[in-house]
């Protein structure tokens, strides 16, 4: 896909107040660890303004996590808190999750919920 050189992110549907209503689980994770809502909103706004590619990554991964069905819930429901530091990047972020997530993923895999991607399995094969 080709983008204009002047392309930019549009977070209109991800404004703090909109996010609270449309994605309460993501909103809760973003707000966790801050004593008052104003500080959480400020932290989020700073990320949006100063590091939009990082916010886009975070929202994309969180949305994908919401779409993964585990025996009980989805991975995002086990996520507790983000680590708000310089390790947040355009392709990753770190945080804390309930250890029960590990068991849920193992159980889902044992039930055949995850399939191997054969293209990836053979793309790195050496002959």
φ/ψ of 97, rounded to 5, equals: -130, 160
If pLDDT is split at 50, 70 and 90, which confidence band does 114 have? confident
pLDDT band at 127, cuts 50/70/90? very low
pLDDT tens digits for range 22-77? 999 999 999 998 877 789 999 999 999 999 999 999 999 999 999 999 999 999 99
Q: Which residues pair with 97 in a beta bridge?
A: 79
39/31 Cα distance (integer angstroms): 9
DSSP state of 77: H
Separation of alpha carbons 97 and 111, rounded Å: 22
Q: Which among 126, 51, 35 has a CA at the least distance from the CA of 91?
A: 51
Flag whether pLDDT at 125 surpasses 60: no
pLDDT in tens, 78-107: 999 999 999 999 999 999 999 999 999 999
Question: pTM of the entire structure?
Answer: 0.80
């Amino acid at each position: 896909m080709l983008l204009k050189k002047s392309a930019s992110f549009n977070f209109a549907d991800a404004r703090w107040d909109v996010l609270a209503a449309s994605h309460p689980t993501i909103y809760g994770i973003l707000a966790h660890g801050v004593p008052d809502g104003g500080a959480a909103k400020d932290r989020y706004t700073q990320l949006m303004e100063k590091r939009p590619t990082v916010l886009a990554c975070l929202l994309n991964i969180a949305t994908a996590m919401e779409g993964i069905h585990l025996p009980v819930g989805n991975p995002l429901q086990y996520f507790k808190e983000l680590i708000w530091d310089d390790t947040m990047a355009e392709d990753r972020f770190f945080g804390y999750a309930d250890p029960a997530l590990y068991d849920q993923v193992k159980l889902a895999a044992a039930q055949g919920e995850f399939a191997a991607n054969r293209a990836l399995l053979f793309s790195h094969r050496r002959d």
